[in-house]
Structure 1
Amino acid sequence: MNKQTGATLIEVLITIVILAVGLLGLSATQVMTLKNSNNAHQRYLAALAAHEMVERMRANPDGVETGAYDNKEVTGAETAVACTSTCDRSQIASLDLYDWGRVISSNLPAGKGKVVRNGTQFTLTVNWKEQHTGEKAGSNAGGAQDSSFEMVVDL
């Protein structure tokens, strides 16, 4: 009868390699889940910011009518308008745009917002950078990609 020596050691090493590959796959899945969750949260914040701006515009119909919101772009670098005692409709619109820019820039990476008017139809667009989760996500070619949320309303 021949004795086999070392067979158990090889079996254990193969098991460890298989387990390591499985755990590596599990951790990659977890990383992708976290990226996708973060991107979904950012999309939610962009939608919330656009909805908030639409409500601000609905609250200032005189500003909408006079074109105070037309073709404006915000980045968060705008300066606040100082109203002395009461604000007129254009000052309210400027404050709304200032607040909107601050919300977007503080909650979204490289966040920008834009309001475009076409007749009574307004298109609000929020742009930001999000983590790339598609092809080449784990390579140097991956990284941040441009994302946007667009809302079209009639006011």
Structure 2
Amino acid sequence: MGIFLKQLGITMLEVVISMFIISVGLLGLAGLQLNAIKDSLNTARQSQTAWLVSELVERIRANPAGQANNYNTTLTTENCKKPVKLCLNTSPNQCGPAEMAAFDIWDVFCGEASQNVLADAVESLKLSTLSISCDSDCAASQANFSISLSWQIQSIDSQQADIEKQQIVMKVRP
């Protein structure tokens, strides 16, 4: 007759294997969470840059005398200088169309914080280039504009130098 021994617990090997399987699963979930956060931040940046482009379109629309040539520009983070005349909260007669256009471009792209309102989209959104060009019929009031705004997205690992650029381009008729 054979003697049968009943197992009265789990072995150490079974515990180690279970812990390994659980840790692999948790690491996978952590990676998914990290990607979800990165994609969420990228989507928020894209939404904010679309808002900035819409803001610029509204300002072009509000300055019809400055539409023809004054908004044609390419602005980078290096040449983000304050305009000579700040046209914020001034009467319309104090700023000409060209001065208003220069202020609009600077205020939307570069700007500065005032009255506890965050500005400086260049730094907060990692913007790199703003390009505005008149596509056709620039002298007419129905000019077509292309507005391009690009920004940087850094990889998940902040130690890596992988910086990719994203861009939003809107073709508008203000």
**TM-score, L = length of structure 2:** 0.75
Matched with 1:145 is: 164
Task: Detail structure 1 runs of 4+ shifted over 4 Å in the superposition.
Answer: 2-7
Q: Are residue 109 (structure 1) and residue 122 (structure 2) matched?
A: no
C-alpha distance in structure 1 between counterparts of 2:167 and 2:47, whole Å: 11
- Report which of the two structures shows the higher radius of gyration computed on alpha carbons: 2
Q: Are residue 128 (structure 1) and residue 141 (structure 2) matched?
A: no
Q: Which runs of 5 or more residues in structure 1 are unaligned?
A: none
Percent of aligned positions that are identical: 27
C-alpha distance in structure 2 between counterparts of 1:93 and 1:31, whole Å: 41
1:75 positional shift: 2.9
1:69 positional shift: 0.6
Name the aligned partner's letter for residue 170 of structure 2.
M
Q: 1:78-100, CA deviations, whole angstroms, 9 ceiling, x for partnerless residues?
A: 22222697001100001001112
What is the count of residue pairs matched by the alignment? Answer: 148
1:127 positional shift: 0.4
Q: Secondary structure at the match of 2:103?
A: helix
Aligned Cα root-mean-square deviation (Å): 2.5
8 Å Cα contact 1:127/1:147 also seen in 2: yes
Matched with 2:139 is: none
**TM-score, L = length of structure 1:** 0.83
Q: Secondary structure at the match of 2:130?
A: strand
Matched with 2:62 is: 59
C-alpha distance in structure 2 between counterparts of 1:60 and 1:2, whole Å: 94
1:7 positional shift: 5.5
